[in-house]
Amino acid sequence: MGLGVLVWPRGGDGTTAAPAGFLLDATGRAATLGARLAPVTLVHFWATWCPPCIEETPALDRLVRDFGGDRNFAVLRVAVADSSSRVEAFLGAGAPGVLYDPQWEVAHRYGTDQLPETYLVVGGRIVEKFIGEVDWDDPAVRQKIAARLPHGGAGGTSGMTGSS
């Protein structure tokens, strides 16, 4: 058995370049991750078979809704070792913004070995990693994201409390 090492370029500011990779869209076609990154993106690795992932989905949906007006922000959900039929049944028809990583290839490039894990990617660089279930309604978490948006997220952070 050979050893493999993945080296990510580190920036002088302590950030790491976000790994690239090919994922699949809901139709099974190859889709690149980089082309879907907004200036500020949460890359969220999850699965329908993962209980903590299911628990945090409503709060993540509220975050998407509340920040949805900011074109500089995106949430990219990557379903790991999951099927498009289960994802669509769980999230609804079309499951917007979901890509698929059937063999954990891109997830492993990011350093993910458990679910859920989420990476805050700013300008193509990972600036923060959230391990495990996150309360996306938490004002402190939302402020971390808003602070990375141009003008502190003005216009995209209405509903910061996450109430619905």
- DSSP state string for 87-149: HHHHH-TT-TTEEEETTSHHHHHHT--SSSEEEEEETTEEEEEEES---TT-HHHHHHHHTTS
Instruction: State whether residue 151 is helix, strand or coil.
Output: helix
At residue 41, the pLDDT reads 96
pLDDT averaged over 10-residue windows placed end to end, the chain, 164 residues: 34 64 87 89 97 96 93 96 93 81 93 95 95 97 95 49 39
- The b-or-e profile of 9-39 (16+ CB within 10 A means b, else e) is eeeeeebbebbebebbebeeeebebeeebbb
Report if residue 112 sits inside a domain. yes
Query: Which residues span the domain enclosing 28?
Result: 16-133
Report if residue 92 sits inside a domain. yes
We report the CATH number of the domain holding residue 125 as 3.40.30.10
Report if residue 8 sits inside a domain. no
Report if residue 54 sits inside a domain. yes
Report if residue 146 sits inside a domain. no
- For residue 101, what are its two tokens? 């990583």
Report if residue 99 sits inside a domain. yes
Report if residue 104 sits inside a domain. yes
Please state the domain count of the chain. 1
Alpha carbons 76 and 78: distance in angstroms, whole number: 6
CB atoms within 10 A of CB 71: 10
Q: What is the DSSP letter of 29?
A: -
At residue 2, the pLDDT reads 36
Report if residue 1 sits inside a domain. no
At residue 153, the pLDDT reads 56
Alpha carbons 47 and 80: distance in angstroms, whole number: 6
pTM above 0.85, yes or no: no
